[in-house]
Amino acid sequence: MVSAFGPPRPPLPVLPDDEVELRSRVGGLDLDRKVALLTGVSHSALAEEPRLGLRRIVVTDGPQGVRGQHGVGPGHSLLAPAPSALGATWDRELAERMGGLFAAEAHRKGVHVLLAPLVNLQRTPVAGRHFEYFAEDPLLTGELAAGLVRGLQARGVAACVKHFVANESETDRTRYLARLDEPTLREIYLNPFETTVLDGGAWTVMAAYSGLDDGVEAAPMTENSRMLRGVLKGDWEFTGVVISDWASTKSAVESANGGLDLVMPGPLGPWGPALAEAVRAGKVDESVIDDKVVRLLRLASRVGRLTDPWEPGTAPVAADPPPPAPSESEIALLRETAARGMVVLRNERDLVPLSPVAGRRIALIGHNAEATYFQGGGSAYVTPQRTVNFVDGLRAALPPDVELSVHRGGDARDHLPLLAVEDLATDPDGTGPGIRASFFDPSGRLLGSDLRAASDWAPHYGFPPGTSRVVLRSVLSLSEPGTHQLEIGAVGRYRVRVDGELRDHAEDDRGVELMLDSSVNHPTGPVIEIVVDGGTRRVELEAELSVIDAGGFGRLISARFRHLPPGPSRESEIAEAVLAAERAEIAVVVVGTNEESESEGWDRTTLDLPGHQNELVRRVAAANPRTVVVVNAGAPVLLPWATEVNTILWAWLPGQEAGHALADVLLGRAEATGRLPWTLPSRAEDSPVPHAIPVDGFVDYSEGLHVGHRGWDRADATPAYPFGHGLGWTTWTYERVHAPRTVAAGQDIDVRVLLANTGPRDGHEVVQVYLEAPVDDPTRPVRTLSGFTVVHCAAGTSVEATVSVPRRALQTWDAVLGTWRTTPGAHRLRIGRSSRDLLLTAQVEVLG
């Protein structure tokens, strides 16, 4: 398929990807320089080397957009739906088109390697990075990731598949060892990496923070030679670069010998001179170093960064012309993907699409309606070029005679809103609005100061050299009578004073560890109440912070100023929303998570919706039977009121075009074609893996092969909504299946399914094929997802879907022989609309 971004173009190597040529180049370089190339030169750039013709390579996150080399500050990015939303489309071709979009963004931002996709699995519903993963299922994950990689790399931008391997949770992620048996590792967790590397052809792979104990070797992933050299570079013949997760490398000798190729970020880190020394001492063979440099050059060649050598000190070649700005077709693709990923979980009486809406009253309710949660937190975060929230999207789409009223229905956050600095805070040393930062050296000498009209200094970089302490000061002028609440969050070593009184302090000296547990991005503090009872009250704020040395992440401080003025109580906001729902023909309630719940760096502690959102939904639904609930979350949340509302639409973290996409779906301009890429529990404790907190340093994958829907099926437990479920906006009958009667071991199976669109609209269907082994072995899954495809079919017509079941789906890992084995015998193919809605069956005899 040719995407909106033009036909795929080959990478732009000046030289062919030629082994002999690359090796001869490397031969001309001395050991110290070779080793120096194997650590980054900054957070996101690799070293250039004129003598090799190696130009600077820039790497950046991924996976909701392309951040660019200047962090989240300048250079706004297109913000795509979170990967779990793309996962819900089950659409390889759409994933490939998204890869094309990311490549276009990467070209605009001078980026050569995108740190995406993530192919870890949604093993537990509480995983902090759940929104960054595609699915709970290895097949679905691998297929979508491979599509995305193809779309990206066809345009000369490398993918970095991460986090290799078994890094499914965040708690204590730099220290735990995941403990798995080999069949589980091969069949479940390595499987999507295998697909992405072998079918997608990924050019780089990221070694995870965590470690792995597979019963033979227990080692951090940056040193795990069984996985890096044995599986990745050995079994799969991976010719690309293995990159460390940021600041995850703990050793020189073990990691270099273990198969890691590149330490990020730099310029510091455990390699450099220590690695060169280890080579001289005979602990690492120089050929090991040469192989890593060759891999780096091969990557450079693939992404168009290898040229003829040039004279050191001169510019390599003329700069590329600036690429065109984002096109309308790119924005349209973001909107299409967001709409396509939405999942209709329930839709009684076909209420959605809402039609006709003309002349009606719609009450739009919920904190996330206005404060839409567009993207998750952590390294995936990008500064979007624009965002359209649900209120604005609906407002823009509704005909003028529709009366749309908007009601928050109570605050859904645990923390206070950010302080309105422009309105309330002034420079203590001047008159303008802002918070003044003063920079001091260790002797207490003032090095400079800076005034910013910003409440969010999390994290803040950029001090005069030699700064060891930063003092943030401001004066608040509060005049609204009532009780104001104030929260100053800080991390590291700090003191917080309000009106000169010490209100919070800490002595946390962790450097890079602080950065990695994400508290740097989410500083919190105690809530302080300030009563204003007439006139204006001046409040002096001061946060004194020691500069944190976060290694490759730089030197930084982190603080956030929050303030809640007196206002209506939660109860009165809910009551107002309920009244509006009562008076309206339709109530749309947007519930969801927010940046306090979904992020890299931690796992969630609960599946409950934050705040009083459950109460809000129940009361609105009781007031209006035509209540549509939109769930704005990238990961599972419990819906205890699911049967009390008319319609439930899972809208994910939809990216910048959120509001337009929701309007498209609600008004019937686009079909919400999504199918759940994971199982939604009705009670948290029903999940096969309710949490993944390390015990004595281990995360035990003791459920083995029974992860996700496989675990639900084995336990014969009933979820709220099963894996694969989604109604779309039409109805289907599955009429016939055709599969070969026999297949030889090692062959793929093509299954043909005839289905009819029996509903009122043209629509998409995701045809799912599950495989059951000849004998039900309780140690193995009851059935596994073994193939799927998306078809489009006009109303009242039929379509034949062809689903390919790959040979790997018929194989199991034989731990004794250490090899794949095809199980002979009569397999049953169960075809249907979800893992629990299986409509047709075919039998295939697999020959031994």
Of 115 and 354, the one with the shorter C-beta distance to ligand BGC is: 115
Q: Which CB atom, from 208 or from 670, has the smaller least distance to ligand BGC?
A: 208
Report which of 635, 20, 707 is spatially closest to residue 298, judged by C-alpha positions: 20
CB of 697 to ligand BGC, least distance (A): 19
Q: Tokens for 413?
A: 């956050």
Q: How far is the CB of 379 from ligand BGC (least distance, A)?
A: 3
Residue nearest to ligand BGC as judged by C-beta position: 379
Binding mask 198-237 for ligand BGC (x = CB under 6 A): ----------------------------------------
Peptide bond into 62 cis (omega under 30): yes
CB atoms within 10 A of CB 505: 12
Listing DSSP states for 146-160 in one string gives HHHHHHHHTTT-EEE
CB of 99 to ligand BGC, least distance (A): 17
Could you tell me the smallest distance in angstroms from the CB atom of residue 120 to ligand BGC? 10
* Smallest distance from ligand BGC to CB 255, Å: 17
| Cα–Cα distance measured from residue 106 to residue 83, given in angstroms and rounded to the nearest whole number | 18
Pairwise CA distance, residues 530 & 304, whole Å: 59
Residue 551, token pair as written in the block: 């290694």
Q: Which is nearer to ligand BGC, 223 or 245 (CB)?
A: 245
Strand arrangement, sheet containing 749-757: 732-738, 749-757, 798-805
Structural contact between residues 499 and 488, judged by C-beta atoms closer than 8 angstroms: no
- Cβ atoms within 10 Å of 41's Cβ, excluding its own: 15
Q: How far is the CB of 631 from ligand BGC (least distance, A)?
A: 25
Distance CA 59, CA 56 (A): 10
Pick the closer one to ligand BGC by CB: 441 or 513.
513
What DSSP state is assigned to residue 466? T
DSSP symbols for 512-581? HHHHHTTTTTS----EEEEEE-SS-EEEEEEEEEEPEE-GGG-EEEEEEEEEE-S---HHHHHHHHHHHH
Is the bond preceding residue 353 a cis peptide, omega within 30 degrees?
A: yes
Q: Which is nearer to ligand BGC, 452 or 510 (CB)?
A: 510
For residue 210, the minimal CB distance to ligand BGC (Å) is 10
Tokens describing residue 619: 């009361």
The reply to whether 162 sits near ligand BGC by the rule CB under 6 A is: yes
Measured CA to CA, the distance from residue 660 to residue 329 in angstroms comes to 15
The C-alpha angle 614, 615, 620, rounded to 5 degrees, equals 100
Q: How does DSSP assign 205-244, residue by residue?
A: EEEPSSEEE-SS-EEEGGG-HIIIIIIIIIIT---SEEEE
Shortest Å, Cβ 452 to ligand BGC: 24
Q: Are 556 and 548 in contact (CB under 8 A)?
A: yes
Given 48, 49, 61, 664, the residue binding ligand BGC (CB under 6 A): 61
Nearer to ligand BGC, 187 or 245 (CB): 245
The minimum distance between CB 238 and ligand BGC, in angstroms, equals: 19
Cβ distance to ligand BGC smaller for residue 61 or 504:
61
Specify the residue, 204 or 474, whose C-beta has the smaller distance to ligand BGC.
204
516/607 with CB nearer ligand BGC: 516
Would you say 245 or 411 has its CB closer to ligand BGC? 245
Q: Which DSSP letter does residue 509 get?
A: -
| Selection from 254, 257, 253, 207 nearest residue 232 by Cα | 207
- The strand ranges marked E within 428-492 are 435-440, 446-452, 456-460, 469-478, 482-490
Instruction: Tell the smallest beta-carbon distance from residue 236 to ligand BGC (Å).
Output: 21
Find out whether 105 and 408 touch, Cβ atoms under 8 Å.
Answer: no
Is there binding between residue 379 and ligand BGC (CB under 6 A)? yes
* Backbone phi and psi for residue 268, each to the nearest 5 degrees, phi listed first: -85, 180
- Count of alpha carbons within 13 angstroms of residue 96, beta-carbon side: 18
The catalytic residue among 245, 517, 603, 713 is 245
- By CB under 6 A, tell whether 504 contacts ligand BGC: no
Q: From the list 164, 189, 193, 246, which residue makes contact with ligand BGC (rule: CB under 6 A)?
A: 246
Q: What is the rounded CA–CA span in Å between residue 75 and residue 109?
A: 8
CB of 332 to ligand BGC, least distance (A): 28
Q: Which DSSP category does 188 fall into?
A: I
**Residue (of 246, 255, 169, 237) closest to 201 by Cα position:** 237
**Touching ligand BGC, residues 92-121 (CB under 6 A):** 115
245 is catalytic: yes
Minimum Å gap between C-beta 580 and ligand BGC is 42
Q: Is the CB of 268 or the CB of 358 nearer to ligand BGC? A: 268
Residue 203 and residue 17: Cα distance in Å, rounded?
12
- Minimum gap (Å) between residue 378 Cβ and ligand BGC: 7
**Of 206 and 564, which has the nearer Cβ to ligand BGC?**
206
Asked whether position 245 contacts ligand BGC by CB under 6 A, the answer is yes
> CA-to-CA distance for 394 and 660, rounded, in angstroms?
7
The residue count for binding ligand BGC (CB under 6 A) is 6
Residue 186 is classified by DSSP as I
- What's the token pair of residue 149? 């990689």
- Rounded CA-CA distance 166/210 in Å is 8
Active-site residue set: 245
| Contacting positions for ligand BGC (CB under 6 A) | 61, 115, 162, 245-246, 379
